[in-house]
Structure 1
């Protein structure tokens, strides 16, 4: 599982939830759970809410969740949807996300989490490369 140092770093970066394990995520209220609007964790079956707004990990069991392929690069990299992008902030976000989802950190986890980690890492790399260069960023904006 997660070491104390890793949990502390994730908390500092705002990517680890505070509070008690087993609490219902803020984004999933009783009404949304009844209507199954809230996605469920593949591992424990509990409602998975966003952690730090990202939703990478289940708040109950901390299992890495499948990536959201519908999420755009700007929201993934926490940037305004604009041609002007703060490249320093973009680089910091890229490093932050890679510290969370890079496959090297999942070598001792289940095969499912290893696969999810590879997919997340690929999405993060694609988003970073696309938004870093002005030409690809512009093409992405108009597409």
Structure 2
């Protein structure tokens, strides 16, 4: 049905973002379903689910946690799941997230946190690039 460049982009968008192999991205609603089965912190064993600032840090020990596999790009970038995106707000959110998780800020932390930082940073970069470009945003919405 889809040929040429658009068909190739549709096939490419079905691939997982770099650095998050094997993770399935779900809708925004999945993020709010943190219940009693919330993940435990890899560092202190405390509840790493509800209460994590933007889902990145353990509220107990402040260790960076692995990326949430249920977050899609729209929820990660705090945007409505729509083709219309406020690009100024998107850019501000991108900068805010990179100040939280960029690998440069984790150079003195454990290898685990360095690895999680790289995964988060890659995911944030991919989300920003995808939602910033109208064609990529549309393809992401339909995939």
> TM-score scaled to structure 2, two decimals?
0.73
Q: Distance in 1 between matches of 2:98 and 2:87?
A: 16
Task: Check if 1:103 corresponds to 2:103.
Answer: yes
Structure 1 residue 71 displacement after superposition? 1.2
Structure 1 runs, 4 residues or longer, greater than 3 Å off: none
Gaps of 5+ in 2: 1-32
| 2:131 corresponding residue in structure 1 | 131
Asked if structure 1 preserves the Cα contact closer than 8 Å seen for 2:56 and 2:67, the reply is yes
| 1:45 corresponding residue in structure 2 | 45
Aligned residues: 110
Q: Which has the higher contact order (CA 8 A, sep 6+)?
A: 2
| 1:73 corresponding residue in structure 2 | 73
| 1:83 corresponding residue in structure 2 | 83
Q: More deviation in 93-102 or 65-74?
A: 65-74
Gaps of 5+ in 1: 1-26
Task: List per-residue Cα deviations over 1:45-75 (Å, max 9, x = no partner).
Answer: 00012434x2100000000000013310000
Please report the RMSD computed on the Cα atoms of aligned residues, expressed in angstroms: 1.5
